Amino acid sequence: MEVTESTVIATPATQKNVYSVWAIPSEEVGTRLKKIMEGLKSDFGGPHFEPYVTVVGAINLTAEDAAEKFKLACEGLKAYNCSVDRVATGTFFYQCVYLLLHPNAEVVEASAHCCAHFGYSNSTRSVILVHSKIQKWV
């Protein structure tokens, strides 16, 4: 194979992947969310996944860069309280039915802290309940 100026060879050190940062709810809250999620999944389908809060959305990074940024972001972080503002629906698979979190100081500060470490300018503070293509709500 001939390498020219336009040829890009990705090595593990240079290959970028999509990463995001999630906060995991407490066991008690997670159990309650799982019950809601299972009911929605039985009605609308979609894959099984554990409940999570999106702190930093999808961002392209190398594995090394993602790990380093995550480690640094975690240093100034601790568990925080949040409450649901409202239930919302979206039109794309990964945000079909979700809970928007009330933007209290702890939620906003944790999000801003992590987004600053990742160089991410926007974050959704939501708990995703269903990944699915819902054609029509009844």
In tens digits, what is the pLDDT along the chain, a chain of 138 residues?
443 344 445 666 789 999 999 899 999 999 999 999 898 888 878 888 898 888 888 899 999 999 999 999 999 889 999 998 888 877 766 667 788 888 889 988 998 999 999 999 876 666 666 555 555 444
Domains of the chain, each with CATH number or no CATH: 16-130 (3.90.1140.10)
Place of tokens 């970028």: 16
What Å distances lie between residue 66 and 60, 73, 99, 112, 138, CA to CA?
A: 9, 10, 26, 17, 41
